[in-house]
């Protein structure tokens, strides 16, 4: 796959989620090992096929910037055993090794899946790209052609590039900062040039002095990554104890028909309410006036207000601070005993004192 397409894909995938990233922050160390697969090396009639899979390993030291991005330096090594050497379609050898080792600088982006209910410390996918230098080496590769012996034993360093697709699985409280990683890596280099040396016999026409194959690698790795500054593990929230239900004390003060003056019994009830307010350290006192349905709604509204005001004044005389009292009037809208219009009902001619 062309490197330019991989770079474009990584950029397009990273852009929409950048604002949501909750990645590794600070210094981290990573290592991985796994399998490597190499397409045939082919140029000028020489074809080298490896015995897949080979072995790959990486070691990286990086820094998370806390905004979704990470930068790292990496050392890598890949080795594959030669399975077959062909010349113009004919098999001429089956020995040797194809090694790659180099240093890369990578830029990676971590994705946050919190909006899907997956915490970054549990699972986090990432994409990356990198560039650097890789030494390509063919060693101990021998073949025979036309009665002559040949050997490929050469190293050629070239600019290298790679794309990374990975996932990190956090180990949580078991090992804060430690994650298991699973990655796919595509590594390519500019075409290396390998010299073909004749070791015995006369020169054979058709055997080139060198070949420059295309060099691609596909690696699947498992590894570990340790962040030296892991985010603190969120403590399990402890539910607050349920608040005790609010206990309200209600006192009823009744009035004669079409009257708003206090009887002796009414004053005694108000005094009891004031005393209770002082004992239980009430935070507020609600005084609500009511009337029956024997008058017009407008008149009953005014009457209920006068009744509420006179009770509030008596509470103040009993030592209750006026600012602790809230006064409302409901007229005939909230009867204690529902009646038809025009009915005189003693229990509806009242003021309710509620201590909260």
Nearest Cα to Cα of residue 294 among 261, 331, 336, 260: 331
d(CA 284, CA 271): 16
Domain span at residue 199? 3-227
Same-domain status, 51 and 91: yes
% of the chain with per-residue pLDDT over 70: 88
% of the chain with per-residue pLDDT over 90: 70
Q: Is the pLDDT of residue 289 over 50?
A: yes
Same-domain status, 219 and 102: yes
Residue 280 lies in a domain: yes
Quick one: the chain helix, strand, coil %, rounded to 5? Answer: 20, 50, 35
Pairing of strands 90-93, 41-43: unpaired
Same-domain status, 223 and 255: no
Q: Note the pLDDT of residue 51.
A: 94
pLDDT in tens, 20-63: 334 688 999 999 999 999 999 999 999 999 998 999 999 999 99
Q: Please write down the long-range contacts of 302-309, taking CB distance under 8 Å and 24 or more positions apart.
A: 303/258, 303/260, 303/331, 304/329, 304/330, 304/331, 304/332, 305/329, 306/260, 307/253, 307/255, 307/260, 307/349, 307/350, 307/351, 308/351
Q: Domain ends where: 196, 227, 258?
A: 227
- How confident is the model over 207-216, as a mean pLDDT? 95
Q: Domain ends where: 227, 259, 289?
A: 227
Residue 206 lies in a domain: yes
- How confident is the model over 170-179, as a mean pLDDT? 84
- How confident is the model over 212-229, as a mean pLDDT? 95
Q: Note the pLDDT of residue 172.
A: 72
- How confident is the model over 166-171, as a mean pLDDT? 92
Q: Note the pLDDT of residue 77.
A: 98
Same-domain status, 218 and 260: no
Residue 239 lies in a domain: no
Residue 121 lies in a domain: yes
Q: Which residue has the higher pLDDT, 278 or 93?
A: 93
Q: State how far Cα 352 lies from the chain centre.
A: 54
Q: Note the pLDDT of residue 100.
A: 97
The label of the residue with tokens 């830029």 reads 107
CB 273 within 8 A of CB 315: yes
Same-domain status, 40 and 150: yes
Same-domain status, 76 and 187: yes
Question: Mean pLDDT in the chain?
Answer: 88
Same-domain status, 97 and 217: yes
pLDDT in tens, 133-157: 999 999 999 999 999 999 999 999 9
d(CA 350, CA 356): 19
Domain count, the chain: 2
CATH classification of the domain holding 311: 3.30.1330.60
- How confident is the model over 201-215, as a mean pLDDT? 94
Full-model pTM? 0.60
Q: Note the pLDDT of residue 240.
A: 62
Residue 202 lies in a domain: yes
Residue 231: cis peptide before it, omega within 30 degrees of 0: no
d(CA 245, CA 249): 13
Q: Note the pLDDT of residue 62.
A: 96
Residue 215 lies in a domain: yes
Same-domain status, 7 and 51: yes
Q: Is the pLDDT of residue 18 over 50?
A: no
Same-domain status, 266 and 215: no
d(CA 74, CA 100): 14
Kindly tell me the sign of the dihedral angle through the C-alpha atoms of 307, 309, 314, 319.
Answer: positive
Q: Note the pLDDT of residue 237.
A: 57
CATH classification of the domain holding 223: 2.40.160.20
Q: Is the pLDDT of residue 15 over 80?
A: no
Q: Is the pLDDT of residue 221 over 70?
A: yes
pLDDT in tens, 111-125: 988 778 787 778 999
Q: Which of the four pLDDT bands, split at 50, 70 and 90, describes residue 14? A: very low
Q: Domain ends where: 194, 227, 260?
A: 227
Same-domain status, 267 and 183: no
Q: Is the pLDDT of residue 231 over 80?
A: no
Q: Note the pLDDT of residue 241.
A: 62
pLDDT in tens, 232-244: 554 555 666 655 5
- How confident is the model over 301-306, as a mean pLDDT? 94
Burial class of 274 by CB neighbour count within 10 A (0 to 12, 13 to 18, 19+): buried
The label of the residue with tokens 């050629």 reads 156
Same-domain status, 219 and 302: no
Residue 242 lies in a domain: no
Same-domain status, 207 and 259: no
C-alpha radius of gyration, the chain, whole number: 44
Residue 200 lies in a domain: yes
């Amino acid at each position: 796959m062309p490197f330019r397409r991989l770079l474009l894909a990584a950029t397009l995938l990273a852009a929409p989620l950048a604002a949501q990233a909750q990645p590794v922050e600070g210094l981290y160390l990573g290592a991985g090992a796994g399998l490597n697969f190499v397409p045939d090396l082919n140029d000028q009639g020489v074809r080298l096929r490896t015995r897949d899979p080979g072995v790959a390993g990486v070691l990286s030291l990086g820094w998370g910037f806390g905004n979704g991005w990470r930068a790292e330096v990496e050392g890598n090594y890949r080795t594959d055993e030669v399975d077959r050497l062909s010349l113009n379609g004919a098999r001429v050898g089956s020995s040797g090794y194809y090694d790659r080792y180099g240093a890369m600088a990578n830029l990676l982006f971590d994705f946050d899946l919190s909006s899907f209910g997956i915490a970054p410390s549990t699972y986090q996918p990432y994409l990356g790209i990198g560039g650097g230098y890789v030494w390509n080496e063919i060693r101990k590769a021998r073949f025979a052609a036309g009665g002559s012996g040949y050997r490929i034993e050469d190293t050629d360093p070239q600019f290298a590039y790679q794309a990374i697709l990975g996932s990190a699985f956090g180990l949580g409280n078991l090992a804060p900062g430690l994650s298991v990683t699973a990655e796919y890596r595509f590594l390519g280099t500019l075409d290396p040039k390998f010299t073909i040396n004749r070791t015995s016999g006369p020169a054979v026409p058709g055997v080139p002095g060198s070949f420059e194959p295309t060099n691609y690698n596909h690696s699947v790795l498992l590894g570990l990554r340790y962040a030296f500054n892991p985010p603190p593990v969120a403590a399990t929230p402890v539910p607050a104890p349920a608040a005790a239900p609010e206990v309200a004390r209600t006192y009823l003060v009744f009035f004669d028909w079409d009257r708003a003056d206090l009887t002796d019994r009414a004053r005694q009830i108000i005094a009891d309410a004031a005393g209770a307010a002082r004992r239980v350290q009430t935070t507020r006192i609600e005084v609500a006036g009511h009337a029956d349905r024997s008058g017009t709604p407008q008149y009953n509204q005014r009457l209920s207000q006068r009744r509420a005001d006179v009770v509030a004044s008596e509470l103040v005389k009993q030592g209750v601070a006026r600012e602790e009292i809230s006064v409302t009037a409901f007229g005939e809208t909230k009867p204690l005993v529902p009646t038809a219009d025009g009915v005189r009902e003693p229990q509806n001619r009242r003021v309710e004192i509620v201590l909260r």
